[in-house]
Amino acid sequence: MAKIPYKIYLGEDEIPKQWYNVRADMKTQHRPMLNPATHKPVQLADLEPVFCTELAKQELNETDRYIDIPEEVREHYRMFRPSPLMRAYYLEKALDTPAKIYYKFEGGNTSGSHKLNSSIAQAYYAKAQGLKGVTTETGAGQWGTALAMACQYFGLDCKVYMVKCSYEQKPYRKEVIHTYGADIIPSPSMTTKIGCEINERFPGSTGSLGTAISEAVEYATTHEGYRYVLGSVLNQVLLHQSIIGLEAKAALEKVGEYPDIVIGCAGGGSNLGGIMSPFMGDKLTGKANPHFIAVEPASCPTLTRGKFAYDFCDTGMVTPLAKMYTLGCGFIPSANHAGGLRYHGMSPILSQLYHDGYLDEARAVEQTSVFEAAEMFAKVEGILPAPESSHAIRVAIDEALKCKESGEEKTILFNLTGTGYFDLAAYKAYNEKTMNDYIPTDADLEKGFATIPHIEGIQE
Ligand SMILES: Cc1ncc(COP(=O)(O)O)c(C=O)c1O
């Protein structure tokens, strides 16, 4: 049999024409989002002041298995897709494992991550609706960069609230975002009511994704012609990210492979939701039974130690309530270097799949062991991985080492969501051995859980 190549490419004409909506195959739908004022399930009319109409429709769509990707979005996808599926031969050799390790490399575009898959779609729908601009939050900066790029493609104004600790840790990230023409504001800021309140209550706050979301939503809903867009968590984002899994599945089919294990890091859940979606579809419809693993930081253990409850998606409690695994909307994680994984909640789709046992496993890993994996990967595979992505690498290595012990030839697929060229402060801390692992105590978590709303009747 011919040797499987190191890079498996699809042709541009093989870019999927439709996204896959896993909700159409889910046995149990996640509970609906609730309007924060009435506590009733949100309707299209509730979402339209915040989101573009077409995206709000996607958010609520639980029946259409496939949704057409607009031609203009596919045109822009052609600039950086299909992304390669790589066979990690050198990592396999270094680990001396019989496992076959594949990774989908989503970091090969200028924004450096998978986030462009959704930002292009979201900017396209905003433009098609005739809007002036969009607002958003960004943690690590990848989403802000991806959205700034997409807004330039479609001629939209873009305001990015960036979590203050990332803004300070990564001065060059903001220059990139600036260069793409977006405004970038450290959060908590003094440009919104909620930002001013948080600055007053917690002077010197380093911010969180939850706070930045509150600010971005407030700006969008108080300025004519603006809507808010989000880079993760929402159903629409998982839908757009399904392109990762669809391409990975098609590429694996070309070489006669199917994964035994699918691994992704999980912050808000979009890349994992995306890479696993068609394989999850197979599991839900009884065609195959791959093992899915979500990897999160031990410092922000949403799935492994969180509660499955209705909670706000932001710290300022202005967004709808979502039924999800959560550490509490007031939980502020320690300043871990994987900014994109510092989120208190988790996608309602992933949360439901985890609750029902279809997303088989969640693992929390410590950041120094994540950077050990990142270092090894960089040395043998050449790509300097983002700290977020390195969480998936850690577990892929651990699984491959288990295969070494058992002699099993499992096929492992993980998502390499991005590159770490803006994360050199993190690599410096690792190289200089000043990096530490902060794991919240049960008492720390209790403080966060206390911020989960106790609204009569909704938590049953
Ligand atoms: C490179 C990278 N990977 C992963 C994530 C986590 O996001 P999600 O869980 O939505 O895939 C982020 C978020 O910022 C990111 O920048």
| DSSP per-residue string spanning 68-115 | EPPHHHHHHHTTT-SPPEEE-HHHHHHHT-S-EEEEEE---STT-BTT
As given in the structure block, the two tokens for residue 204 are 């010197």
d(CA 413, CA 100): 8
As given in the structure block, the two tokens for residue 306 are 């969180």
CA angle 252, 381, 111 (to 5 degrees): 80
Give the position, in ligand 1's atom list, of the atom nearest the Cα of 112. Answer: 1
| Domain parsing of the chain, residue ranges | 7-14+80-112+235-449, 41-67+113-228
DSSP result, 360-379: -EEEEE-HHHHHHHHHHHHH
CA dihedral of residues 379, 382, 383, 388 (deg, nearest 10): -20
Cis ω before 297 (30° cut-off from 0): no
pLDDT reported for residue 1: 64
Q: Ligand 1, from 173, 232, 343, 394: best to mutate by most atoms within 8 Å of Cβ?
A: 232
Considering just the CA atoms, what is the radius of gyration of the chain in Å? Answer: 20
pLDDT reported for residue 272: 98
Q: Going by CA atoms, what residue is nearest to atom 4 of ligand 1? A: 388
Q: Which residues contact 6 (CB under 8 A, 6 or more apart)?
A: 86, 87, 89
CA 234 to ligand 1 center in whole angstroms: 13
Residue by residue, pLDDT tens for the chain (460 residues) are 679 999 999 999 999 999 999 999 999 999 999 999 999 999 999 999 999 999 999 999 999 999 999 999 999 999 999 999 999 999 999 999 999 999 999 999 989 999 999 999 999 999 999 999 999 999 889 999 999 999 999 999 999 999 998 898 888 888 999 999 999 999 999 999 999 999 999 999 988 888 899 999 999 999 999 999 999 999 999 999 999 999 999 999 999 999 999 999 999 999 999 999 999 999 999 999 999 999 999 999 999 999 999 999 988 888 899 999 999 999 988 877 887 898 899 999 999 999 999 999 999 999 999 999 999 999 999 999 999 999 999 999 999 999 999 999 999 999 999 999 989 989 999 999 999 999 999 999 999 999 999 988 888 7
CATH of the domain spanning 7-14+80-112+235-449? 3.40.50.1100
The closest of 394, 376, 392, 390 to 93, measured between CA atoms, is: 376
The closest of 203, 271, 219, 220 to 413, measured between CA atoms, is: 271
CATH of the domain spanning 41-67+113-228? 3.40.50.1100
pTM, two decimals, is 0.96
Q: Going by CA atoms, what residue is nearest to atom 1 of ligand 1? A: 418
The closest of 39, 21, 37 to 29, measured between CA atoms, is: 21
Phi, psi of 207 (to 5 degrees): 85, 175
H-helix or E-strand containing 311?
Answer: strand 307-312
pLDDT reported for residue 334: 83
CB 102 within 8 Å of CB 86:
yes
Residue 130 φ/ψ region, left for φ over 0, alpha for ψ in the -120 to 50 degree band, beta for the rest: left
Full strand arrangement of the beta sheet holding 100-105: 7-8, 85-87, 100-105, 411-416, 261-265, 291-297, 361-365
Q: How many CB atoms lie within 10 A of CB 453?
A: 17
d(CA 86, CA 108): 12
Cis ω before 188 (30° cut-off from 0): yes
d(CA 338, CA 301): 13
Q: Which residues contact 45 (CB under 8 A, 6 or more apart)?
A: none
End-to-end CA distance of the chain: 56
- Do domains 7-14+80-112+235-449 and 41-67+113-228 share one topology? The answer is yes
List, chain by chain if needed, residues with CB within 6 Å of any ligand 1 atom: 113, 139-140, 142-143, 232, 265-271, 340-341, 386, 388-389, 417-418
Residue with tokens 């960004």: 138
Phi, psi of 247 (to 5 degrees): -65, -40
CA 263 to ligand 1 center in whole angstroms: 13
d(CA 80, CA 88): 21
CA 269 to ligand 1 center in whole angstroms: 8
Give the position, in ligand 1's atom list, of the atom nearest the Cα of 419. Answer: 1
CA dihedral of residues 153, 109, 61, 360 (deg, nearest 10): -170
Q: Going by CA atoms, what residue is nearest to atom 13 of ligand 1? A: 340
CB 410 within 8 Å of CB 99:
yes
